[in-house]
Structure 1
């Protein structure tokens, strides 16, 4: 290791990411990924510490600020950004990282404040964190019975407006179940590329690489992996033997009824999970036309296509809101996994809950309908339209299903049960749609519906 590599201060790296995400509105997955890419030489343990600390602060920032504000005369909103985030990091270590002694969390925060030029505030940082460390059992929490919504907001670090929305659609108990699930440690779910390897062969190869492997919860070709450094270091990933994809998303291609020789259009395909899955299910026949709105997104699809070695998938730049006349009535299957609020994947992209606004959801529902208006035209008579989102709001999901059925009488819902895992069958899958909820199901929050053109 070079002298430069030895100088890396993990807490300082975490601070830089937090400022980028919480103060400058960057996306956490991008900021963390870019940092880990830059410091690839870090040991597995150091990478894990950096990810845990950074993601933990982002995930629990409302709760952390609530704690700080009980012990500091200066409220977090009035603090300078570096100090605010140094304190947040200290509190997270004190409250949630047992392997870090409280004394070390305080001392490292003081050193970091000095390192960033805040010599005059080192006493303030030290005082606040040591006070929290001594009195963490005396923190006053909202009473669940008397302040039910405030209890959820603080306990699960959740914005009030989203809770207000969900309280009109789900029970309090169901919402708390989802919020608990969002905070649970996640394994990486992968889909075996069965054009190249069997599930058992993939499992054995991953085990040989000292990776922990578990079966998926619903699908025979899904596995869950953990205890690995990063994806590109896994030989099986580089060889194209698997694709990272949640089981909820895998269900779309799996229940579509795709058959050899089909022509499939995926309108908003990046990063290519559903496109590549349906290309695999086509058994080297047919064609998948995978489209997305930018060169960057299409490059991402092509990267996965090349790695998985799928010759029947072609990716191109195309705006899904514009009609491509030569495709009218040509597709056996159209996949419309549309831009959405993403509130179903908060467990994996924690900052979504802070970045999404109520007005965004209304605008997205309108965009979804604009794209669906084009999507229906591509479906041939007897063909299938699969509509999906990674969110759990009615306006983006079942409301759009009802809107489509009302606007386009030539479409009807088709049962999902012919290819649905038994432990997911319900009264709604029989009708043709499924809302997956974290906590209730062992997946992301996800919605999909299957329509057939009469």
Structure 2
């Protein structure tokens, strides 16, 4: 493989924004890919995957390169050199690259890989938290799985097509996919590619959504005609799934504190042909109070540490602070207490997170059930999904019924 200067410089620029300016990796990559319209799919793939790779292994590569933050450009080029050497890619004779001792890099890699916090590239505090929460065996397996590159998974929009039809449409556009046993509306890309330029996407035949995330909406057991509240809707991936499961009949009320995200949901809903979604911004407590006791189903897809989706957002482990878990668990408990009041008697609520920590999952549900408001609910079932077992994102879901 031969390295091209403009592509390498784009990666270095991106790493500077992520590591030194605190920007989010996905947003940075989006900006980088718009830099040169002449770049083909292979060029764009190199930039995206190399940037994510170095972000994912930041601690390991920095230790091997013997550098510390802040990372100026010479340090970023040293980190890039580590990435290249470990992949057997020749380092070009450019001024930006120092003489690279390949044997020393490989030797340090072998030595550091014996210790999990370096091998899996995580902060000390996060490694300690994982062990305390899940135990050595589970944490070691899960952390390794969360460092693997995530597959691109599509969710078939059943309002417009079926799984076999979408598979055929995409094949016609040169996009090969595979079905996934146990996930009836999921298709996995055989090779990574930009599916957003396909006509099938433009026609609203699918959304990109991980297989684990696709389990959440069905967990609510919705049916056409119900009133369903998606209390933390965001840009609406699960609202769209709920609308499809309800066959566009009934009402999906998508709530969020960010109006910009709900605006994006409206745009996606139009493309999907989902007509039963109504968006409401939570700009005061009145928005929730008006819905008290009125919903057949409520989904609380709660804000969380996001440790179950590190494969997609590897920069999260560098942005997260040790005190964040305590702060977010308080928020989760407040949401359970407040939003559960929207469930009518006999209705059901699903609490979900994209986390693998029991503090955010089972322990939150148990604390809620032991509270005054939680005493009105019964836990029907719960499911913890681990990446090392499923091959997909880490998730948690609990279904509760209001007595």
Could you state the TM-score of these two structures normalised by the residue count of structure 1?
A: 0.83
1:280 CA drift (Å): 0.5
Distance 1:386 1:153 in 2: 34
Distance 1:143 1:242 in 2: 40
Q: Are 2:81 and 1:76 aligned?
A: no
1:316 CA drift (Å): 2.6
Distance 1:37 1:66 in 2: 32
Aligned pairs for 1:390-409 (under 5 A) are 390-407=354-371, 408-409=374-375
Distance 1:8 1:307 in 2: 39
Q: Does structure 2 conserve the Cα–Cα contact (< 8 Å) formed by 1:293 and 1:320? A: no
Q: Does structure 1 conserve the Cα–Cα contact (< 8 Å) formed by 2:225 and 2:251? A: yes
Q: CA RMSD in A?
A: 1.9
Distance 2:343 2:21 in 1: 42
Q: Are 2:158 and 1:194 aligned?
A: yes
**Gaps spanning 5+ residues in structure 1: where?**
1-6, 70-74, 114-124, 145-150, 415-431
- Higher RCO (C-alpha 8 Å, min separation 6): 2
Q: Does structure 2 conserve the Cα–Cα contact (< 8 Å) formed by 1:156 and 1:180? A: yes
**Corresponding residue number in structure 1 for 2:111:** 141
1:182 CA drift (Å): 1.8
Q: Are 2:34 and 1:65 aligned?
A: no
2:98 to 108, 112, 126: 126
Distance 1:143 1:95 in 2: 13
**Corresponding residue number in structure 1 for 2:384:** 435
2:378 to 406, 409, 412: 412
1:22 to 12, 19, 24: 19
**Corresponding residue number in structure 2 for 1:376:** 340
Q: Does structure 1 conserve the Cα–Cα contact (< 8 Å) formed by 2:212 and 2:395? A: yes
Deviations 1:95-123 (A, max 9, x none): 13x4x32x43xx2xx44x3xxxxxxxxxx
Q: Are 2:215 and 1:243 aligned?
A: no
Q: How many residues align?
A: 397
Change (3 A) 1:80 1:387: closer
Partner of 1:168, secondary structure, is: helix
**Corresponding residue number in structure 1 for 2:79:** 88
1:10 CA drift (Å): 0.8
**Corresponding residue number in structure 1 for 2:29:** 32
Aligned pairs for 1:215-254 (under 5 A) are 215-227=179-191, 229-254=193-218
1:435 CA drift (Å): 1.0
Q: Where does structure 1 differ by over 3 angstroms across 4 or more consecutive aligned residues? A: 37-41, 134-137, 226-229, 319-323
**Corresponding residue number in structure 1 for 2:232:** 268
Distance 2:236 2:71 in 1: 41
Distance 2:79 2:368 in 1: 46
Distance 1:351 1:171 in 2: 24
Change (3 A) 1:36 1:142: closer
Q: Are 2:399 and 1:453 aligned?
A: no
Partner of 1:185, secondary structure, is: coil
Distance 1:227 1:448 in 2: 30
Q: Does structure 2 conserve the Cα–Cα contact (< 8 Å) formed by 1:60 and 1:156? A: yes
Name the structure with the higher helix share.
Answer: 1
**Gaps spanning 5+ residues in structure 2: where?**
none
Distance 2:56 2:270 in 1: 34
Aligned pairs for 1:247-326 (under 5 A) are 247-319=211-283, 324-326=288-290
